[in-house]
């Protein structure tokens, strides 16, 4: 392994400090691997945007930030370093090592990488959305919900995140419209039941948002279109929370890796990607469901497989 003064050498670099990355880091240090986690912000990933978690075994009700803090403390207990840098590129070099570059300058080099970088929230890409971002439009309920006390707002989406965050937001707002482009929600049944039984929530079916309206003071409403009837109209709301999925942060890879139509990396049962030495886990991996429990499992499997890969690599070099 060669390096220059600008490089930091490790056996394993874990990109992303969410549940998958923190779990991988914890197991890596328990196995005494020279590993590091790179995370652009506070450790926790999507946990930091979740208010109440009630589906993590053994912790029937816990705040997302508290769970993130517990996971980070557990991982660092074993000596795991968590470096706060934004990764901008991951490339496999001719000698087999990976070079991980960051926006802040440091370069990391290792024979194995675990990518657990999660994803970025999708946007509606409609007029007014960008203009009123932070002035009515938000992508994080726990971050901004308290700013809308007593107001009437809307949530766009129909999956788990939209249902969970809509219910959370009702603790602040007077009225909430859940706007979905289909005639039924995609969220888990228990989450749908909570939505339908909440007196503050009204679902608007078969409808898309065409424009975010507002003035100098901020957002004032939405322009809507019913996909079945073609009818258009406006809805008076002072806030819009968008939960329509997210894009996996797999664009960090400078080399081509096998992926599905959504850009999620395809792996085998051991979290190996199509690039030798690159393992994947959590929300950027192609799989049936993306939950905290599956992310933790991915991280566990990925680091054990990475350790085996490193051992085989050392044996091959020694031979």
Annotated catalytic residue within 51, 63, 83, 140: 140
pLDDT (0 to 100) of residue 4: 55
> Mean pLDDT throughout 204-220?
97
> Mean pLDDT throughout 44-62?
87
Q: 244 near 235, Cβ under 8 Å?
A: no
Alpha helices in 34-87 (DSSP H): 64-77
pLDDT (0 to 100) of residue 257: 96
Please indicate whether residue 144 is annotated as part of the active site. Answer: yes
In the block, tokens 């450790």 appear at: 43
In the block, tokens 């680091």 appear at: 303
Domains defined for the chain, CATH in brackets: 7-121+246-318 (3.50.50.60), 137-242 (3.50.50.60)
> Mean pLDDT throughout 7-18?
97
Q: Comparing 50-59, 188-197, 237-246, 263-272, which segment has the lowest mean pLDDT?
A: 50-59
- List, for residues 148-175, the tens digit of each pLDDT value: 999 999 999 999 999 999 999 999 999 9
Please indicate whether residue 284 is annotated as part of the active site. Answer: no
pLDDT (0 to 100) of residue 25: 98
- Please report how many Cα atoms fall inside a 13 Å half-sphere around the Cα of residue 152, on the Cβ side: 9
Q: Taking the model in full, what pTM does it have?
A: 0.79
> Mean pLDDT throughout 281-293?
91
In the predicted structure, residue 2 carries a pLDDT above the cut 80? no
Please report which confidence band the pLDDT of residue 143 belongs to, taking 50, 70 and 90 as the band edges: confident
pLDDT (0 to 100) of residue 220: 98
pLDDT (0 to 100) of residue 53: 85
In the predicted structure, residue 312 carries a pLDDT above the cut 90? yes
* More confident: 289 or 1: 289
> Mean pLDDT throughout 275-304?
95
Instruction: Tokens for 278, please give them.
Output: 């690159």
| Mean model confidence pLDDT for the chain | 94
In the predicted structure, residue 70 carries a pLDDT above the cut 80? yes
In the predicted structure, residue 30 carries a pLDDT above the cut 60? yes
CA distance 99 to 9: 10
> Mean pLDDT throughout 286-296?
91
Annotated catalytic residue within 143, 183, 255, 270: 143
> Mean pLDDT throughout 39-45?
94
pLDDT (0 to 100) of residue 6: 79
Dihedral sign for Cα 6, 8, 13, 14, please: negative
């Amino acid at each position: 392994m060669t390096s220059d003064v600008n490089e930091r050498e490790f056996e394993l670099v874990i990109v992303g400090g969410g549940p998958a990355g923190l779990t991988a880091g914890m197991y890596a240090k328990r196995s005494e691997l020279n590993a590091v986690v790179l995370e652009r912000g506070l450790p926790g990933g999507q946990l930091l945007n979740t208010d109440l978690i009630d589906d993590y075994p053994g912790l029937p009700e816990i705040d997302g930030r508290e769970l993130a803090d517990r996971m980070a403390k557990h991982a660092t207990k074993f000596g795991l370093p968590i470096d706060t840098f934004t990764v901008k590129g991951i490339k496999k070099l001719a000698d087999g090592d990976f070079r991980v570059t960051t926006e802040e300058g440091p370069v990391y080099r290792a024979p194995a990488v675990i990518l657990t970088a999660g994803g970025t929230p999708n946007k509606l890409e409609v007029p007014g959305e960008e203009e009123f971002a932070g002035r009515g439009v938000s992508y994080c309920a726990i971050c901004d919900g308290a700013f809308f006390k007593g107001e009437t707002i809307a949530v766009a989406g129909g999956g788990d995140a939209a249902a969970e965050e809509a219910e959370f937001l009702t603790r602040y707002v007077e009225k909430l419209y859940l706007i979905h482009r289909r005639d039924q929600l995609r969220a888990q049944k228990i989450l749908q039941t909570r939505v339908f039984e909440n007196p503050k929530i009204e679902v608007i079916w078969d409808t898309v948002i065409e424009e975010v309206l507002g003035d100098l003071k901020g957002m004032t409403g939405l322009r809507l279109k019913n996909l079945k009837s073609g009818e258009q109209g406006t809805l008076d709301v002072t806030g819009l929370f968008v939960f329509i999925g997210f894009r996996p942060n797999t664009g960090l890879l400078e080399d081509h890796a096998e992926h599905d139509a959504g850009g999620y990396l395809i792996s085998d049962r051991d979290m190996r990607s199509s690039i030798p030495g690159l393992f994947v886990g959590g929300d950027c991996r192609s799989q049936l469901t993306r939950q905290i429990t599956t992310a933790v499992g991915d991280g566990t499997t990925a680091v054990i497989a990475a350790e085996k890969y490193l051992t085989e690599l050392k044996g091959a070099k020694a031979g």
